[in-house]
Amino acid sequence: MFKNLNNNFFNKEIVILFFLYLTLLISFFLGENSTGGAFTDYARQKAIVNSFSNNFFESLLNYDKFSTRHSPVLIIFLAILEKLSFSDLIIRFIHLHLCLILPFYFYKCLRFKFKFIDKKILFILTGLIFFSPTFRSLSIWPDSRILGLTLFTIGIFYFLKFEREKKINFAIKNVFLVALSAYISPNFSIFSLFFFLKYTLYYNFFSKPTLLIIITNLILSIPAIYYVFILEINFFLKSAVAEINWDEKENIIFNNIFNDFIITFSFLFFYIFPFLFLKIINLEKIITFSNLIYSSTIFLVCAYFFDYNYLYGG
């Protein structure tokens, strides 16, 4: 009886997965742009891809002159496909299917971490990825963030395996995949500190495994260090729009600290909100009269001097 139930669920899984894939495929051919900016970003990025395709080394050595904060790694990958005479439709189609690795490994992470939870629940949680406007739009219109997240998720899978089995090869795989995800989307580079701390706490700092992890990190970071700090091709602070006048050397951050303050803390509040809702964070200790006075004063000052340029995007 239970065997039949499991088989029935397996069949339902196949049907649901196919349906979700079909919706993504339909959206691909219809050009879904549910985030609002995915198509625009890709259209601007396409010009940079063409530049790499036509003159690779000149484009690579002058990458900070382009209107983009995205890593050149995905640009190079797309330029190679273009150089091989792949049509834009085929390039996007390949990218779409690479992004499908993300929900697959997300499910593997859930199954590995929560092996005693009903796999139907984990399957439903994984299926929610297909309803994400970000996942759908950035899979359809190639973007470094989804591919970076995909590699980072695979890295998490090996970190989870390390936590359970304590084998150094899983730690090395994690380090490699997190580094690769950071090369595609630099946002993920900060997580290497978290994983390094975890490995150091387990092995202790002066152990051979920790030395191996340090050497691996250093070797993997050499291309980025050389590119950004030696060649001084720093594209991180650039605005990702073509309308900015680069002769004025305008950067997206540190122009107005009041902009940075309000925007950064709005991000933090967005991610902290679930912890407030679930009462994991005790508001009674935070909401005091003095804190309200301080925070209100800071907010009013920042709001008065706020002058964020919408051309920065995001």
At 224, the amino acid letter reads A
Q: What percent of the chain has pLDDT over 70?
A: 88
| Cβ partners under 8 Å of residue 93, min gap 6 | 28
Closest to 239 measured CA to CA, from 44, 74, 36: 44
| Confidence grade of residue 242 (pLDDT, cut at 50, 70, 90) | very low
Cβ distance 132 to 106 under 8 Å?
no
With 0-12 CB in 10 A as exposed, 13-18 as middle and 19+ as buried, what is 233? middle
Return the higher-pLDDT residue of 75 and 281.
75
Question: In angstroms, rounded to a whole number, what is the distance separating the alpha carbons of residues 60 and 51?
Answer: 9
**1-5, 125-129, 137-141, 159-163: the lowest-pLDDT one:** 1-5
Task: Tell me the CB-side half-sphere exposure of residue 24, using CA atoms within 13 A.
Answer: 29
**51-60, 103-112, 227-236: the lowest-pLDDT one:** 227-236
Q: What percent of the chain has pLDDT over 90?
A: 32
| Mean pLDDT for the stretch of residues 44-51 | 86
Q: Looking at residue 291, what is its pLDDT?
A: 78
| Confidence grade of residue 45 (pLDDT, cut at 50, 70, 90) | confident
Give pLDDT tens digits for 140-197: 999 888 999 999 999 999 999 999 998 899 999 999 999 999 999 888 888 998 999 9
**53-67, 189-203, 282-296: the lowest-pLDDT one:** 282-296
